[in-house]
Amino acid sequence: MKVQKLEKENIARTLDYTANLQADEQVYYAPAATGRIEKIYVEVGDRIKKGQLLVEMDRTNLQQAEVQLKNLETEYNRAKMLNETQSISKQAYDAAVTQYEVAKSNVDFLKENTRMLAPFNGVVTGKYFENGEVYTGAAFGGASKPSIIAIEKINPLKDYVNISQQYFLSVKKGTKVELKSSLYPDRIFEGQVSIVYPTIDPASRTFTVEVKIPNDDEALRPGMYGTINFFIGNTETVVVPAIAVLKLQGANDRYVFINKDGKAKRVSVNLGKRFEDKIELISDEIQEGDELIVVGQGRVIDGSPITITQ
């Protein structure tokens, strides 16, 4: 049989958690008031750019408000001129200013809710009305919230992960992460922690972090599952060939054999991180310099004499 001298290796210490990706922003887009839909300019699946016109509502109320504003603007300008020559009472001047500002605010509000522009770059994920229909202010057509369309920002994507409190001092804003998805076995998506929530849940003894993953080519989509690895520093540890580790039949206990003065000594171990064909061993009974049996370990028992070959 063959042995291998145990040596510590410098490895990256990581935490692995399941990821459930979400859109960075999700908006169920609708005007603040009910009304007839003049035109919807996008369809489900369309890419949108910030500032792009998405929906146009009936303009009747806006046109009436603009006419009112124009009339009040004339009165406002007249009041300003009279105020400069002190030919108007302060009360009358203040009233003219207030009426104009209220009318202007109303026009701005109606513009925003008549010509509805995209608040971010993203994609249309739902459409619940057609041109000419009346938006009633209620959820309709399968929408979970009152909306005409649904839009999502999918670059970056995010996830919320609950991490054990023992790592509260190790995981910080900016901590690097890697996302792996079974859909892309040959790709690793890099990201980082964007928010560390400041409290610990007393029931689960975990704290929540928000992770953001850049998604420039939009390969990832909201709802996808994967694994997120958090990098929390480097550590020195014993890493051995995975084939050297044996499993107790009928249980989940793991063990290895080491050479102890020419005899096989069975040592119980816990498994840490896996690195391709190697695995981290965790045990108080093994030390750097011990000789681990890596060939023939399945044919020995605790205390049996061994013959080492090169």
310 — pLDDT class (breaks 50, 70, 90): low
Pair 206, 162: CB distance under 8 Å: yes
Cα–Cα distances in angstroms (integers) from residue 193 to residues 20, 107, 131, 200, in the given order: 15, 41, 42, 17
Mean pLDDT across the chain: 90
> pLDDT tens digit string along 223-271?
999 999 999 887 788 888 888 899 887 778 898 999 898 898 999 988 8
Per the listing, tokens 């995209």 go with: 118
**Residue 27: CA count within 13 A, CB half-sphere:** 17
The verdict on pTM exceeding 0.85 is no
> pLDDT tens digit string along 192-235?
999 999 999 999 999 999 999 999 999 999 999 999 999 988 77
- Percentage with pLDDT > 70 across the chain: 100
156 — pLDDT class (breaks 50, 70, 90): very high
pLDDT at residue 300 tops 70: yes
> In sequence order, what are the beta bridge partners of 61?
none
Task: Name the nearest CA neighbour of 253 among 231, 268, 275.
Answer: 268
Pair 257, 248: CB distance under 8 Å: no
Pair 241, 256: CB distance under 8 Å: no
pLDDT at 43: 96
pLDDT at 25: 95
pLDDT at residue 64 tops 70: yes
As a whole number of angstroms, the distance between CA 219 and CA 226 comes to 13
As a whole number of angstroms, the distance between CA 229 and CA 231 comes to 6
Taking residues 123-151, what's their average pLDDT? 90
287 — pLDDT class (breaks 50, 70, 90): confident
**Residue 240: CA count within 13 A, CB half-sphere:** 31
> pLDDT tens digit string along 12-34?
778 889 999 999 999 999 999 89
Length of the chain (residues): 310
105 — pLDDT class (breaks 50, 70, 90): very high
- Distinct helix (H) and strand (E) counts, the chain: 2, 19
Taking residues 269-291, what's their average pLDDT? 84
